[in-house]
Chains A and B, each alone.
Chain A
Amino acid sequence: MMRKGWGAVALVAALVPGALSAQSWKTVTMSRQLEDNDEVRVFVEYGAGHFTVRSVDEGLLYRMNLRYDEDKFEPVADFSGDRLHLGVETIGSGINLKGREAGEMELELARGIPIDLDLEFGAVKADIDLGGLALTDLDLSTGASESTVDISEPNPLGMGTAKFEAGASEFTLRHLGNLNAERIEVDAGVGSITLGLDGEWQADAELNIDIGLGSLELLVPEGLGIQLRKDSFLASLDSEGLIKRGDVYESLDFEEAEHRVVVDLDAAFGSIKVVWIR
């Protein structure tokens, strides 16, 4: 669907070259074939616009579709050794997006090869699905964004720590269990955070959450053992389904659960809500 959509966009841009003159829009499609790649360190940066990430299984290392204002941005696609740098960089010193149409970036990354992924994006609307990627490390950083990160399929490789950093954003993480990470760190500034602890957990894990100001909703699947340690200043906790044992809140079957997640929560202002899901 995405490929067809981009083909249509490209055709429109191609057949009507003069119609896009309000901003100097440029449409770019970049791709690279998989070669004898072992592990690839991928660094993606995107400033503003609509940002999507998917996995691809067509013998490609990556495919990137961009639509950007060529007066303000320039694309980056640099692959050397085991490092892949993708995205869009600004030209000059800063941009003013007011009154401007946002650009788009669609990124597809290869399934099957180990990837150390570093995503940085700013004022974007991000729709990221990391399902199917073989991640060895993950570091995601977003600014003022409306971001959804889904790990729709289990990560075949385990990783040590997955880090998520969100600024002023509406940030949603789904299927964190599929990350197959020993430790997950979420650092949110201001915003609404939703963390889905569903997915296929392979082992026990730690989840460190640090929120400045905002709401946190924890979506916990039934059967997952959860223990919540809270260190908050003025933050409310709706701990439905949890029992307090000393300084911690635990699910009823925490001790018997096949997989357990220890949540270490540090919240200054806001609300914390635990929602059980089937």
Chain B
Amino acid sequence: MHMYQLLRKAVPALALIALALPASADAQLRAIVSKNVSASSSGATLELEFSDDGTLRIALEDGDVLVDGDAVASYAPGDALEVEWRSLLGQAMTLENGALAEMLVEWSAPASIEGAEAEAGLRIDQALEEALRDTNARVSSDEGEITLSIGEQGSLVQLLVNSMGRLGVLEEALEGLDENFRVHVDEDVTIEEGTTVEGTVVVIGGTLRVEGTIEGDAVVVDGAVDVRDRGRVDGEVRIADARIVRNSGEVRGGIVDVLEQERDFESRLRDELREEIRDEVRRDLRNEIRNVARFDDDESFSIMSPIRPVIRGVGGVVEKLIMVFVLGLLGAGFLAFAGENMDAIAETARRSPGRSAMVGLAGSFLLVPVWLLGAVALVVSIIGIPVAIAWVPLFPLAAGLAALLGYVTVARNAGEWLADSGFPWTGWIRKTNPVFTLVGGLLGLSAAFLAAHVISIAPFLGFLSGLLFAVGVMITLVAAQIGFGAVLLTRAGRRREYYGSYDADAAWEAAMNVDVGEGSDTSSKDEV
């Protein structure tokens, strides 16, 4: 990691070089340590050796323009280009190092030269520029030293633009390496036979050819590795986005593809995504087929579309009526087996609805904690464990029964109120029959839901239907809380102080609306 950090430090240095390159050619010219200028009737040659052991040989020989031995263009012997070249070399004979480099860099083929000669002149100019511009940088720190060598100026800028992306890969490739680095960017590197290089050789965007020995590691990013027969790498050859051209030499540390794990992970992720998409498509297709087969009530147009709201509305009404019927049966059971308890609860709810509601609300919130604490307390006390076994299922059951008892009791109260109300369609509710008042009350409490379902059949009344649903939910919640609270207050109807003793005369007077005598006492009906 140290070297990665060091390499990151090199980026500003590269940036400085990049800035300096176009602005100041003089300051960035390579030092020429040796010069060889030769001219004969058959050709004229310039050979330079630089302080970093680099060399350049440009020759015009027998019609060929040779750059480092490679024919890059041609010329006609005796033509203007050759005359220009010889003139340049004539000046080069008298100049040394900086002045020579400056003169060579500034040289360009005259504008009067055209065609193939101009192309040859351009190639010579480029060769001089590329060889003489110093695009090497050296960055040092306590952890080591990095020598950077940039193949082309353009690649330097490109490296800076793409540096974070490439450095991201480098971070993995250089991890654990802690030696001096030679970094080559966008250039091919050959470790010649008989040559030994110490430290780590890093090649980014180029080919590393090993014919000699690297006493360290080799790292190639976005390039290729070619270890020849007599090539040897003492450490590892790490590749990232790179390929092995040949490995006929010796790599003692082995070849490590640093991105292999990442590629495996990506491949696995791709497979999983592909599988998920396939499942989803399969599921969607299956649902679609099922919906078509069942004339499902989806929103798409089908033959069932016009009657779908009617079905939905009627279904809701029927569902609600069934629920009323079930609750009515349950209430009838309560009346039959716990009528007096129910009377006490009903009276408490009637006289103290607010208090009952608050107690019911508090009781609802406390249900779960009490259940858990009770279970824990029983389990902790060893002897309570058998009770806990009963407590765990029975407590929720008892709470549910209490809630139902409270609700149907409140419903019975509501039925009695409806019987006295004189509203239309309430004549059938007779107070003398508690089952009628119970069912009437359940229907009354569910009236908002029923109305909502009926209205939902009609088009464009969705808002009103939703509003009625909300009202129904509110009524149900309030009734449930009052009923549950009353059950709690009366200890399931066993505490009767909340409604006092039964006064038959008062009940008769109230029922018949007559005065049976002055001795009647109603004070006992005051809320306790």
| A102 located at the interface, meaning its Cβ lies under 8 Å from any Cβ of chain B in the complex | no
Smallest CB separation, A18 vs chain B (Å)? 6
Provide the residues of chain B in CB contact with A20, threshold 8 Å. 40-41
- Docked-complex contact B38 and A35, CB < 8 angstroms: no
**Is there contact, CB below 8 Å, between B87 and A14?**
yes
Interface residue from B36, B44, B89 paired with A30 (Cβ < 8 Å): B36
- Bound Cα distance from A23 to B232, whole angstroms: 49
B201 smallest CB distance to A (angstroms): 25
Stretch at the interface among B75-83, B412-420, B429-437, B515-523: B75-83
Query: Which of B34, B40, B51, B86 sits near A26, CB closer than 8 Å?
Result: B40
B-side contacts of A58, CB under 8 Å: 96
Among the listed B35, B38, B39, which residue makes an inter-chain contact with A31, where contact means beta carbons less than 8 Å apart?
B35
A11 vs B88: C-alpha distance when bound (angstroms): 9
Please report the total number of A residues contacting B with Cβ < 8 Å: 33
Residue A60, interface by CB 8 Å? yes
Docked-complex contact A14 and B90, CB < 8 angstroms = yes
- Closest Cβ–Cβ distance, residue B39 to chain A (whole Å): 5
> CB-CB contacts of B5-40 with A at 8 A, as 1s and 0s?
000000000000000000000000001111111111
| Interface bits A59-71 vs B (CB < 8 Å: 1, else 0) | 1100101000010
With A11-B90, A18-B78 as known contacts, state yes or no: A25 contacts B41, CB within 8 Å. Answer: yes
Which residues of chain B from 379 to 431 have any CB-CB distance to chain A below 8 Å in the complex? none
Q: How far is the CB of B379 from chain A (nearest CB, A)?
A: 88
- How far does the alpha carbon of A14 sit from the alpha carbon of B85 in the complex, in Å? 8
Q: Which residues of B contact A11 (CB under 8 A)?
A: 86-87, 90
**B158 CB-CB contact with A under 8 Å:** no
Cβ of A33 within 8 Å of any chain B Cβ, yes or no, is yes
Distance, CA A114 to CA B147, complexed state (A):
33
Complex Cα spacing A21 to B78, Å: 14
Q: Are B34 and A14 closer than 8 Å at their CB atoms?
A: no
Q: How far is the CB of A22 from chain B (nearest CB, A)?
A: 10
A59 touches B94 (CB 8 A): no
In residues 11-50 of chain A, which contact B (Cβ within 8 Å)?
11, 13-15, 17-18, 20-21, 24-33, 35
* Complex: chain A residue closest to B45, CB-CB: A28
A59 touches B41 (CB 8 A): no
Query: Which partner residue on chain B sits nearest A64 by CB separation?
Result: B36
Cross-chain contact A6 with B94 (CB below 8 angstroms): yes
**Minimum C-beta distance from A57 to chain B (A):** 12
A105 shortest CB reach to chain B, Å = 14
Given A29-B36, A32-B34, A24 and B41 contact (CB-CB distance below 8 Å):
yes
The residues of A that contact B93 with a CB separation of less than 8 Å are 6-7, 10, 29, 65
- In the complex, B97 has a CB within 8 A of chain A: yes
CB of B41 within 8 A of CB of A33, answer no
Q: Is the CB of A21 within 8 A of B41?
A: yes
Distance from A59 Cβ to chain B, minimum over Cβ atoms (Å): 7
Once bound together, how far apart are the Cα atoms of A99 and B39, in whole Å?
Answer: 23
CB-CB under 8 A from A245, the residues of chain B are none
B91 at the interface (CB under 8 A from A): yes
Q: Could you tell me if B40 and A31 are in contact, using CB atoms closer than 8 angstroms?
A: no
A18 and B31 CA atoms in complex are apart in Å by 34
- Among the interface residues B31, B35, B78, which one has the most CB atoms of the partner chain A within 10 A? B35
Residue of B nearest to A66 (CB): B38
Does A77 have its Cβ within 8 Å of any Cβ on chain B?
yes
In the bound assembly, the distance between CA atoms of A25 and B40 in angstroms comes to 6
Q: Contacting B34 at CB < 8 Å: which of A25, A28, A33?
A: A33
Evaluate contact between B89 and A10: CB separation under 8 angstroms: yes
Which residues of chain B are near A77, meaning CB under 8 Å?
A: 36
Residues from chain A with a CB closer than 8 A to the CB of B87 are 11, 14-15
Give the interface SS of chain B, mostly helix, strand, loop or mixed: mixed
Residues of B within 8 A of A7 (CB): 90-91, 93-94
Interface: A3 (CB within 8 A): yes
- CB–CB B96/A28 < 8 A: no
- CB pair B33 A28 closer than 8 Å: no
Q: Are A3 and B86 in contact (CB under 8 A)?
A: no
Nearest CB on B from A56, distance (A): 10
Which residues of B356-385 have CB atoms within 8 Å of chain A's CB atoms? none
- In the complex the two chains form, what is the Cα distance from A28 to B37 in whole Å? 5
| Minimum distance in angstroms from A197 CB to a CB of chain B | 37
Q: B86 — which chain A residues lie within 8 A by C-beta?
A: 11, 13-15, 17
Q: Which residue on chain A has the smallest CB distance to residue B32?
A: A33
**Distance from A124 Cβ to chain B, minimum over Cβ atoms (Å):** 21
Is A18 within 8 A of B38, CB to CB? no
Q: Which of A4, A13, A18, A35 contacts B39 (CB 8 A)?
A: A13
Kindly state the separation between the CA atoms of A7 and B93 in the bound complex, as whole angstroms.
7
Q: Which residues of A contact B39 (CB under 8 A)?
A: 10, 13-14, 17, 26-28
On whether the beta carbons of B78 and A26 are closer than 8 Å, the reply is no
Contact residues in A for B49 (Cβ distance below 8 Å): 32
**A21 CB contacts on chain B under 8 angstroms:** 41
Q: How far is the CB of B53 from chain A (nearest CB, A)?
A: 12
Taking a contact as CB atoms under 8 Å apart, the answer to whether A14 and B83 are in contact is yes
From residue A11, how far is it (CB to closest CB) to chain B in Å?
A: 4
CB-CB < 8 A to B96: which residues of A?
31, 33, 58-60, 63
Point out the residues of chain A lying under 8 angstroms from B33, CB to CB.
32-33, 35
Measured CA separation A29–B91 after assembly (Å)? 11
Residues of B within 8 A of A59 (CB): 96-97
- B458 to chain A minimum Cβ distance, whole angstroms, is 102
CB distance from A188 to the nearest CB of B (A): 36
Please determine whether A30 and B35 come into contact, CB atoms closer than 8 angstroms: yes
Q: Which residues of A contact B92 (CB under 8 A)?
A: 29
Q: Which residue of A10, A17, A18, A29 is within 8 Å of B35 (Cβ)?
A: A29
State the CA gap A89–B287 with chains docked (Å). 95
Q: How many whole Å from A75's CB to the nearest CB in chain B?
A: 8
Q: In the complex, what distance in Å separates the CA atom of A20 from the CA atom of B44?
A: 13
A73 to B40, CA, bound (A): 13
A20 to B86, CA, bound (A): 14
- Hey, what's the 0/1 contact readout for B216-246 against A, CB within 8 Å counting as 1? 0000000000000000000000000000000
Q: Which of B36, B41, B51 has the most CB of A within 10 A?
A: B41
How far apart are the CA atoms of A25 and B93 in the complex, in Å? 17
Q: A17-B86, A59-B96 are in contact. Are A31 and B41 (CB under 8 A)?
A: no
Is A29 in contact with B37, judged by CB distance below 8 angstroms? yes
A31 pairs with B83, CB closer than 8 A: no
Complex Cα gap A274–B92 (Å)? 48
Complex Cα distance, B35 from A35, in Å, reads: 14
CA A58 – CA B32 in complex, angstroms?
14
Instruction: Please measure, in the bound complex, the distance between the C-alpha atom of A32 and the C-alpha atom of B51, giving whole angstroms.
Output: 11
16 CB < 8 A contacts A-B: A7-B93, A11-B90, A13-B86, A14-B86, A14-B90, A17-B41, A24-B42, A25-B41, A30-B34, A31-B96, A33-B32, A33-B33, A33-B96, A35-B33, A59-B97, A63-B96
Q: A24-B40, A29-B37 are in contact. List 10 more A-B contacts (CB 8 A).
A: A4-B94, A10-B90, A11-B90, A13-B86, A14-B90, A17-B40, A24-B42, A25-B40, A29-B92, A77-B36
The 8 A-B residue pairs with the shortest CB-CB distance in the complex, in nearest-first order: A14-B86, A26-B40, A29-B93, A28-B38, A10-B90, A11-B90, A32-B34, A29-B37
Give A contacts to B, CB under 8 Å.
3-4, 6-7, 10-11, 13-15, 17-18, 20-21, 24-33, 35, 58-60, 63, 65, 70, 75, 77, 79
